[in-house]
Structure 1
Amino acid sequence: MAQPDNASYYATYTTVLTVILVGVAFAAAAFGANRLLRPTRPTREKLLTYESGVDPVGEGWAQTHVRYYVFAYLYVVFAVDAIYLFPWATVFAAPGFGWVTLVEMFVFLGFIAVGLLYAWRKGVLTWT
């Protein structure tokens, strides 16, 4: 059994390392050029926190109700559902896709329906 040549094995990674270093150097050069070429005229108004055109009042700490995270989670679940459902619907009629893919999609939609039913039973979908 012949021993592999370690020098040629590791030489193949020099290309990857070179590409990474060139990418980091390019990003550093871009950020450096931006810092050198941009105009800087800081004023009191420019240094204020800006959010939706409303001047900041009070302290910056605010608590958010956990319910909003649940809505965001439900949105992500249904966005992923759409990502899988639309491509499947476009290729379903193609040859080779038959009853098996139809059953698989109904199983997938069943899992989504169970999640929606769970959220509905927990009262997450009511806005109060």
Structure 2
Amino acid sequence: MSTDFTPIFLFLIIAVGTGLSMLVMSAVLGPRKATRVKQMPYESGMDPIGDARQRFDVRFYLVAIVFLLFDVELLYLYPWAVGQWSADAAIPAAAGAAPLIVGIPAVFRMLVFWEIMVFVAILTAGFAYVWKKGVFEWR
């Protein structure tokens, strides 16, 4: 067996061991007293009494969509930021091969920078729009 996979196996053993130890410790140390209140269903901070098809205020959905919008934005900004900082880094290759250059090539750095600035400007305009519409004001 090769030693190349030893760190992976160690990680898996530690991960499974941690999960199993949490299960065992919660069963041993956890509270066991079942009361009527503890057995009652809990639904998003509200008592689940009444019709299950009640109407929700549209502000819940607006806040969720705005959160997703600005959360997904980071998925696009993070690779750019990492590429900018590691633009001149080289990963050593095997013997006889050229090193792998990572990051954004110098020729495209300004183009990529201005594309990201346009992306951030569009997000800022969207942020200003939802702010003006009052999405962030909880009445």
Category of TM-score, reference length = shorter chain = 0.5 to 0.7
Question: Which consecutive aligned stretches of 4+ in structure 1 deviate over 2 angstroms post-superposition?
Answer: 48-61
Q: 2:134 aligns with which of 102, 123, 127?
A: 123
Post-superposition Cα deviations, 1:1-57, rounded to whole Å, max 9, x if no partner, equal xxxxxxxxxxxxxxxxxxxxxxxxxxxxxxxxxxxxxxxxxxxx9xx9833598743
For structure 2, the residue ranges without an aligned partner over 5 or more in a row are 1-35, 88-103
Change in 2 beyond 3 A, CA 1:56/1:112: closer
Larger radius of gyration: 1
Give the residue type in structure 1 aligned to 2:136: L
Name the residue aligned to 2:79.
87
Matched, 1:60 2:71: no
Amino acid at match of 2:127: L
Q: CA RMSD in A?
A: 2.6
Give the TM-score, by structure 1 length. 0.55
TM-superposed CA distance for 1:58, in Å, is: 2.8
Q: Quote how far apart the aligned CAs of 1:61 are.
A: 2.6
From 104, 109, 112, the equivalent of 2:120 is: 109
One-letter identity of the residue aligned with 2:137: T
Task: Give me the whole-angstrom Cα distance separating, in 2, the residues matched to 1:67 and 1:55.
Answer: 20
Partner secondary structure for residue 70 of structure 2? helix
Cα separation, 2, equivalents of 1:54 and 1:125: 22
How many residue pairs were aligned? Answer: 82
